Chains A and B, each alone.
Chain A
Amino acid sequence: MLERILRSPLLMISILIYLGIVYVGVQEGWSKALLFYPFLISFLIYFAFVYIHNKRNPDKRIKWITYIPYELREDDEGLQWITFKATRKVYIFYSFAIPIGIVLYTFFHEVISYFTIWMLVGFGIIQYLIYWLETKDILKGEE
C-alpha cells in the first residue's frame, strides 16, 4: 500500500498544485509560514513513508534520491513495455500541448492572472493522468 502511495502520480499532481499555489502566494505576498509549513510537513511525511517502506521491503527498496521519477516502473521487460507505452502517450500529448499552450498564452496571459503557471500546472496534471490511466490496470493490486 505504501509503495502504491509513493509511486502514485496523484502524489505528483498534488505537489504540482501546491507549487502553483506557492508561486501565486509569493507573488501576492501571502504569509511565508503559511506556504512553508505545509511543504515541510509533507516532506517529512513523505520521507517517513519511504523509510517505513524500505524497512518493510528490503528487497524492493525505493531510493531516497533519484533522478528517475518514482512512478516509472522498469523492474523487468514487461513493466518497461508498459512504461514505454505510457511515456509515448505523454510525449504525444506534449507535442500538441506546447504549441497550443503558446497560442493560448498569446491570447490569455493578460486576461487571466498567473496564466503561465496555471498552464504549466495543468500540463503537469494531464501528463500524470495520462501516465496513471495507462498503467493503473497493470499495477492494480500490487504489494
Chain B
Amino acid sequence: MLRNRVRELRARDNYSQTELGKLIGVTRQTIGLIEKGDYEPSVKLALKIADVFDLSLEEIFWLEKERKAD
C-alpha cells in the first residue's frame, strides 16, 4: 500500500486542502482522498505535490512494506 506525508506537509506549510489543490490543479476532494490513502495519485500528480513541498518523491510517498523494512 502506498503511504504518504501529504497531510503532515500541508500542515507544515499551512496550506488548506483547497489551496494545495489549486497549486497542483486538482480539487479539494482529491487532496482529501490522497491524504486518507483512498486514492493513489498518478506519477504526474505525485511529482507536482513533491514540487510544491520542494522534496523528492520518496520523501513524501513510500510503499508500506518498504517502510517496515527500515
Q: List residues of A whose CB falls within 8 A of some B CB.
A: 75-79, 81-82, 138-139, 142
- Min CB gap B50→A, angstroms: 16
Q: Chain B: which residue is nearest A76 at the CB level? A: B26
Interface contacts (Cβ under 8 Å), in number, total 35
CA distance A78 to B26 in the complex (A): 8
Is B42 part of the contact surface with A, judged by Cβ < 8 Å?
yes
- Min CB gap A23→B, angstroms: 37
Is B27 part of the contact surface with A, judged by Cβ < 8 Å?
yes
Number of B residues, CB within 8 Å of A: 14
What is the predominant secondary structure among interface residues of chain A facing chain B? helix
Chain A residues, Cβ within 8 Å of B30: 76-79
Most A CB atoms within 10 A — which of B26, B39, B41?
Answer: B39
Chain A residues, Cβ within 8 Å of B25: 76
Q: Chain A: which residue is nearest B29 at the CB level? A: A138
- Min CB gap A143→B, angstroms: 10
CA distance A63 to B35 in the complex (A): 31
Contact pick for A81, options B28, B31, B32, B33, CB 8 Å: B33
Q: Which of B51-68 contact A (CB under 8 A)?
A: none
Chain B residues, Cβ within 8 Å of A142: 28-29
- Min CB gap B19→A, angstroms: 15
